[in-house]
């Protein structure tokens, strides 16, 4: 809040809609409301990055530019908490207040379409006139860069979202994946607690989404790679989605050894 209060009016502010990467720490609904009010009071432009867990159901793929009078953005998330409505609330609140915003999203993770490069840029403008001008400027960027986006992946997404049975099946599977990641967090926390690993590891179950900052330093990470063949970024970030019930004990052993042994 202090940093947001210090930036010049008119600045573009990048926000993660939910399941913040890399920290896994999301603002509470009350904190989101404080953030929204401050951003609007300073005339800042929010740009939501939804490249990981978040997901929007749109009438358009690749590009959607609308004014508030004709807003047709339907927000659906779910890969963070497993609840579509809960995960979508931060962005919905910014759309509902009548201000402008941008949202970039990807379907790579929540629909398993990594190789298809399926995503969308949605922009909500204050008027139809502004929306027309924004669209014109974006076309100047799009035309020489890629002209037309790949259609195969977008067609898959459209087929799922337009069919009620497929959509319901997808939401069930989405929640299963979110619940599995939450379960991996709990299992890792329990394993560290059972080993008596020094430190407070409650952040593992308090964080949300695919990624977790373990709190391990670069020396401890190097030790785990060298002695346990476990690989992660040097800042201690791990992908919870990459864990399974079979691999949690090995990771817990490695973390315990890294924390308790001199490295």
Q: Is this model's pTM higher than 0.75 or not?
A: yes
**pLDDT by residue, tens only, the chain of 263 residues:** 999 999 999 999 999 988 888 888 889 999 999 999 999 999 999 999 886 544 443 333 345 566 555 554 444 445 566 667 777 788 889 999 999 999 988 888 888 888 888 888 899 999 999 999 999 999 999 999 888 888 899 899 899 989 999 999 998 988 898 899 999 999 999 999 999 999 999 999 998 888 889 999 999 999 999 999 999 999 999 999 899 999 999 999 999 999 998 54
DSSP 114: G
Same topology, domains 1-162 and 171-262? Answer is no
Return the half-sphere exposure (C-beta side, CA atoms, 13 A cut-off) of residue 73.
Answer: 30
Domain boundaries, the chain: 1-162, 171-262
What token pair was written down for 110?
A: 């929540």
Domain 171-262 is of which CATH architecture? Alpha-Beta Complex (3.90)
Phi, psi of 74 (to 5 degrees): -110, 115
Map residue 66 onto helix, strand or coil. strand
Fold classification of 1-162 is 3.40.640
């Amino acid at each position: 809040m202090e940093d947001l209060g210090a930036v010049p009016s008119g600045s573009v502010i990048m926000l993660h809609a939910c399941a913040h990467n890399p920290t896994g720490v999301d603002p509470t609904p009350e904190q989101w409301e404080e953030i929204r009010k401050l951003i609007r009071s300073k005339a800042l432009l929010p740009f939501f990055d939804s490249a990981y867990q978040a997901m929007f159901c749109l009438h358009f793929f690749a590009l959607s530019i609308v004014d508030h009078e004709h807003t047709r953005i339907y927000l659906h998330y779910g890969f963070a908490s497993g609840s579509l409505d809960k995960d979508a609330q931060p962005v919905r609140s910014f759309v509902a207040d009548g201000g402008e915003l941008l949202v970039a999203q990807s379907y790579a993770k929540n629909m398993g379409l990594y190789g298809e490069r399926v995503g969308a840029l949605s922009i909500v403008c204050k008027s139809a006139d502004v929306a027309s001008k924004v669209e014109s400027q974006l076309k100047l960027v799009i035309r020489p860069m890629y002209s037309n986006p790949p259609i195969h992946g977008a067609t898959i997404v459209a087929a799922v979202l337009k069919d009620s049975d497929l959509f319901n099946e997808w939401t069930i599977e989405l929640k299963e994946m979110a619940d599995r990641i939450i379960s991996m967090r709990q299992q890792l926390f329990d394993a560290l607690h059972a080993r008596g690993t020094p430190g407070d590891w409650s952040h593992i179950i308090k964080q949300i989404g695919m990624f977790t900052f373990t709190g391990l330093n670069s020396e401890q990470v190097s030790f785990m790679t060298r002695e346990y063949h476990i690989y992660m970024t040097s800042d201690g970030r791990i992908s919870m989605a990459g864990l399974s019930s079979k691999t949690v004990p090995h990771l817990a052993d490695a973390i315990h050894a890294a924390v308790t042994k001199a490295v």
